[in-house]
Amino acid sequence: MGVYIQVLEGLLLQEQQVISSEKLAEQCEVNPSQIRKDLAYFGEFGVRGVGYYVSDLLKAIKYFLGIDRNWNCILVGVGNLGRALLRHQQLAQKGFQIQMAFDCDPFKIGERVAGHEVICTRRLKEKAQQMQIDIGLISTPPERAQRAANHMMQAGIKGIVNFAPTRINVSQDVIVDYVDFSNHLISMAFRLSHP
């Protein structure tokens, strides 16, 4: 669904109000039957012979996905990847505001990165509870990911996106998503080997 949002937002910027399913499929690089299937939930915005009303379709997808609102995020691990995430402008534009950044390295604590003062991870619970935090991002080295997750769970955070290349254990009421770069490379290797 991410690609639909990206393309539809681009169309809005160009002030295009209607798009045919064929054109939308082409721009999203999916086939037209797939797009009609994916967007069947939003059928009312598809008008036979016309296409989709861009703005209404975008709103419906965002509502469906739960991104018609802001999500407060925190980040643990201000290394290179953490800095890249803190500076990633599209996350905030899409409603994912990284509100605070934590690290346990005394040389980083107090540093300002993309407008955030890096806070000692031990203060995560205290700081995170001052604000309703929805999602925690882990960008620590793998050996510190579990500790970061523990701090997040103690602060009552129910969604963790783990960028560290390791599995973490969480309680049953916490949702984890893994971002593993090597999976993308594996998938590319597979596609290149099976042309």
Query: Does 167 contact a copy of itself by CB under 8 A?
Result: yes
| Touching a copy of itself, residues 100-129 (CB under 8 A) | none
Task: Write the CB contacts of 143 (distance below 8 Å, at least 6 apart in sequence).
Answer: 166
User: CA 104 to CA 130: how far, in whole Å?
Assistant: 20
Q: What's the closest the beta carbon of residue 140 comes to a copy of itself, in angstroms? A: 12
Q: What's the closest the beta carbon of residue 22 comes to a copy of itself, in angstroms? A: 18
Please choose, from the candidates 15, 20, 10, the residue with its C-alpha nearest in 3D space to the C-alpha of residue 45.
20
Query: Does 58 contact a copy of itself by CB under 8 A?
Result: no
Question: For residues 9 and 56, which CB has a smaller minimum distance to a copy of itself in the complex?
Answer: 9
Query: Does 4 contact a copy of itself by CB under 8 A?
Result: no
| Touching a copy of itself, residues 11-30 (CB under 8 A) | 29
User: CA 77 to CA 112: how far, in whole Å?
Assistant: 14
What tokens does 1 get?
Answer: 């669904």
Binding track, positions 65-104, relative to a copy of itself; x by CB under 8 A: xxx---x-x-----xxx-xxx-xx-xx--xxx--------
Question: For residues 1 and 131, which CB has a smaller minimum distance to a copy of itself in the complex?
Answer: 1
Question: For residues 70 and 122, which CB has a smaller minimum distance to a copy of itself in the complex?
Answer: 70
CB 160 within 8 A of CB 149: yes
Binding track, positions 129-158, relative to a copy of itself; x by CB under 8 A: -----xx----------------------x
Which stretch, 48-56, 116-124, 146-154, 179-187, contacts a copy of itself (CB under 8 A)? 179-187
Sites of contact with a copy of itself (CB under 8 A): 1-3, 5-7, 29, 64-67, 71, 73, 79-81, 83-85, 87-88, 90-91, 94-96, 134-135, 158-159, 161, 165, 167, 175, 177-194
